[in-house]
Amino acid sequence: MNANDFSNLEALSRAMAQKTYLVKKQKKLSEALNELTQEEIRLASILKKETADYEKMERLSLTSLIVMISRDYEEKKNKEYNEMRMAEYKYQELMGRIENLQDDLAKTGAELSTLNDVETEYKKLLDAKLSWAEEQNIKAISDFESRLHTLRRELKEADEAISACHDLISSLESALDSLSSAKSWGLYDMVGGGLISSLAKHDHLDTAEETLKDASEKARKLSMELKDLTEFPEIESLNIDSFSRTFDIFFDNIFSDFAIQSQIDESRERVISNATDADDLLEKLTSHREEICKKIEALTEERNTYLIDYC
């Protein structure tokens, strides 16, 4: 064992940091999936009830007498239909989130499987290195390695948070584009644009709905990644969970109010506000990552200098 073997140990240390991160991620994903599975049972029950209520109203429409004496029949029927559609939407949106979590769990498990032996290899080489250091009377080497391992783990967590933040910003930009197009066609539709403008407006609203769903999921993933950054206190003031809650507010009215022009304007303002917060967060995360890299570089140089002095 000599100083030339340190590069291999560093590679194993990075792999260990990756494995530590993945194990924590797998645990969080499993917990989140369990919560959504319970929610799926609840929403499935609601959907079943709302569907039954609407089908009951449909059957009533076959009875002309009831239709004649119920002046508000169509209003009630539309209400039941909208409630059924909302239940369908929430259920489908939840199932999409469950599917995404299942995919993430599968990918995390697959990546973990490639690191099965890394802990054994790392410990073996580290023990050999520590023995060599002891022989060379380099007692402080274990402290260097411990501190470097912690910093590499923090760097991995920062990288994952930055990646998740980029994904959220991309989704928000797509949502804003769709909402802006819907607004333009909506204004044209209001001044008598006709069938084509109405169809175009709703086409862009459908696209906006999908991009907002995607942004909501990206926000939840970002929130999960940020919980790992215990050494990054700036995130507390940003209230990251507000991202996903804001989108959930949109979805509550997606089939009734979302097509109204004023609601499009409100949605655009909220997306712009969230995009601004996401940009600010990305800047802070990037700065945080740079600080970690500086610490790793400085500590590595200090360790190498220390080892060279005792080689």
- The DSSP-derived string for the chain is --GGGHHHHHHHHHHHHHHHHHHHHHHHHHHHHHHHHHHHHHHHHHHHHHHHHHHHHHHHTT-HHHHHH-TTHHHHHHHHHHHHHHHHHHHHHHHHHHHHHHHHHHHHHHHHHTTTTHHHHHHHHHHHHHHHHHHTT-TTHHHHHHHHHHHHHHHHHHHHHHHHHHHHHHHHHHHHHHHHHHHHHHHHHHTT--HHHHHHHHHHHHHHHHHHHHHHHHHHHHHHHHTT-TT-GGGGGG-TTHHHHHHHHHHHTTTTTTTSHHHHHHHHHHHHHHHHHHHHHHHHHHHHHHHHHHHHHHHHHHHHHHHHHT-
pLDDT at 89: 86
Q: What is the DSSP letter of 260?
A: S
pTM for the full model? 0.62
pLDDT at 292: 92
Span 67-125, pLDDT tens digits? 555 556 677 777 788 888 888 888 888 898 899 899 999 999 999 999 988 888 877 87
CB atoms within 10 A of CB 87: 21
As a whole number of Å, the end-to-end CA separation of the chain is 11
Helices 73-113, 242-252: crossing angle, 10 deg rounding = 150
pLDDT at 263: 74
pLDDT at 179: 81
pLDDT at 66: 55
Q: Please state, in angstroms and rounded to a whole number, the distance separating the CA atoms of residues 310 and 134.
A: 11
pLDDT at 242: 47
Enumerate residues 6+ apart whose C-beta is below 8 A from 6: 129, 304, 307
Contact 288, 238 (CB under 8 A): no
What residues in the chain have per-residue pLDDT under 70?
Answer: 1-7, 60-73, 130, 134-139, 184-202, 230-260, 304, 307-311
Span 45-70, pLDDT tens digits? 988 988 888 887 777 655 555 555 55
Q: Please state, in angstroms and rounded to a whole number, the distance separating the CA atoms of residues 261 and 170.
A: 24
Question: What's the number of CA atoms in the CB half-sphere (13 Å) around residue 256?
Answer: 12
pLDDT at 183: 72
Backbone angles phi, psi at 194, to 5 degrees: 95, -165
User: DSSP 3-state assignment of 72?
Assistant: coil
pLDDT at 310: 58
Q: Residue 39 carries which side chain, given as an amino acid letter?
A: E
Q: Match 């910093």 to its residue by tokens.
A: 151
pLDDT at 185: 61
- The topology (CATH level 3) of 151-311 is Four Helix Bundle (Hemerythrin (Met), subunit A) (1.20.120)
Contact 282, 251 (CB under 8 A): no
Enumerate residues 6+ apart whose C-beta is below 8 A from 209: 254, 258
What torsion do the CA atoms of 18, 22, 23, 25 make, to the nearest 10 degrees?
140
